[in-house]
Amino acid sequence: MNSLVFGLAAALAWGIHDVCIRHVSQRVAILPMMAAILGAGLLALLPFGLALGDWPALKGPGGWLAGLAGLTFFGAGFGLYSAFAIGPVRLVAPIVAAFPALSVGWAALQGQPPSRMQAAAVLAIIGGVAMIAVLSRKADTQTGTRGPAVFWAAIAAVGFAATFALGQAAEKAGGGLAALTLTRIVAIGVVLFLIAVLRPAIPGRDGPWKWLAAMGCLDALALGLVLRAGSMTHPEFASVTASIFGVVTILLAWAFLKERVAPLQWGAILLVFSGVGYLAA
């Protein structure tokens, strides 16, 4: 039950984060945007990680697992921003949202297979998210971007699944908040290295820095909730329920941006939350 609550809270944080992406993605290059978001999240997390993290535990496997999670988290983030920058939501979101299937499959390989009804609920969640994205009326971008958008969305899906699996394994191995902090340090280290090599354009003082800082805090909160579920029963369910961040984004856009939601999309939203409700029972 707690892992589901953590996953739902992460979905809310990522949903708000994605609404903000719509506001800033056309104003900032991907690497500087990632640096600002990851940096803000690290600053928000660092005091807790230093005070409460079990850093000596990272001398063992937990440290290697957390470091690898940082690398895959960078790949997931870069793939996500790249895909949404060039592809329509209805194309990108279903591919990215498929990552929980990889998480549940990994748990099954570790000897924790879901029951038939639990598997059906997981498929309902993933299918509902995919239906919402497919039914989106957002206009397509240039047809030549379809292939790259699919590629980067697939990178994001694999990256998120690997990040959650490695991060939760690091949580079990010890370290707690220290492991989460190390994950973000590694990810932002990769971003800063690439910025130094590639030298992308960086906005000045009039850039959307406040928005990026808020997005960083939301992202850190969401990832922290999912990875902290690694010490709970069925941690893969946190990854599954976190995948409904796309639904949360649509609901927020409908409520605050007055974007229209078609009747079939409401049906898909009901399907998603029915699956979540069954897993919570």
Q: What is the pLDDT of residues 236-251, one digit of tens each?
A: 778 777 878 878 877 8
| Helix 263-280 / helix 116-134 crossing angle, nearest 10 deg | 160
Predicted local distance difference test score (pLDDT) of residue 1? 58
Q: What is the mean pLDDT of residues 171-187?
A: 86
The predicted structure's pLDDT at residue 191:
97
Q: What is the pLDDT, as a whole number, of residue 238?
A: 81
Q: 213 pLDDT exceeds 70? A: yes
Burial degree of 206 (CB within 10 A; 0-12, 13-18, 19+): exposed
- 111, pLDDT greater than 90: no
Q: What average pLDDT score do residues 130-136 get?
A: 75
What pLDDT is stored for residue 189 in this prediction? 97
pLDDT at 197: 96
Which tokens belong to 221?
């909160």
Question: Strands (DSSP E) along the chain, which ranges?
Answer: none
* Average pLDDT value for residue range 53-70: 88
Answer with the residue of higher pLDDT: 143 or 275.
275
Tell me, what DSSP letter sits at residue 259?
-
Q: Is the dihedral of CA 43, 153, 164, 63 positive or negative?
A: negative
Residue 191 sits in which domain range?
Answer: 2-280
Cβ contacts of residue 82 below 8 Å, gap of 6+?
30, 148, 152, 155
Q: Which residue type does 203 have?
A: P
Q: How many domains does the chain have?
A: 1
Q: What is the mean pLDDT of residues 211-232?
A: 84
Average pLDDT of the residues in 264-277: 82
Q: Give the model's confidence band at 136: pLDDT under 50 very low, under 70 low, under 90 confident, else very high.
A: low
Cβ atoms of residues 239 and 196 within 8 Å: no
CA torsion, ordered 131, 214, 179, 170, to nearest 10 deg? 0
How far, in Å, CA of 64 to CA of 59, rounded?
A: 8
pTM for this structure? 0.80
Report the alpha-carbon distance of residue 165 to residue 162 in Å, rounded: 5
Average pLDDT over residues 32-40: 92
Is residue 89 very low, low, confident or very high in pLDDT (cuts 50, 70, 90)?
Answer: low
Q: What is the DSSP letter of 215?
A: H
Tens digit of each residue's pLDDT (9 = 90 or more) over 214-224: 998 998 888 78
Encoded tokens for 16: 């708000």
**Per-residue confidence band for 141, with pLDDT thresholds at 50, 70 and 90:** very low
Most confident of 23-32, 183-192, 208-217: 183-192
Q: Which amino acid is at 236?
A: E
Computed over every residue of the chain, the mean pLDDT equals 83
pLDDT at 39: 93
**pLDDT score of 187:** 95
Q: Tokens 């992406």 belong to which residue?
A: 21
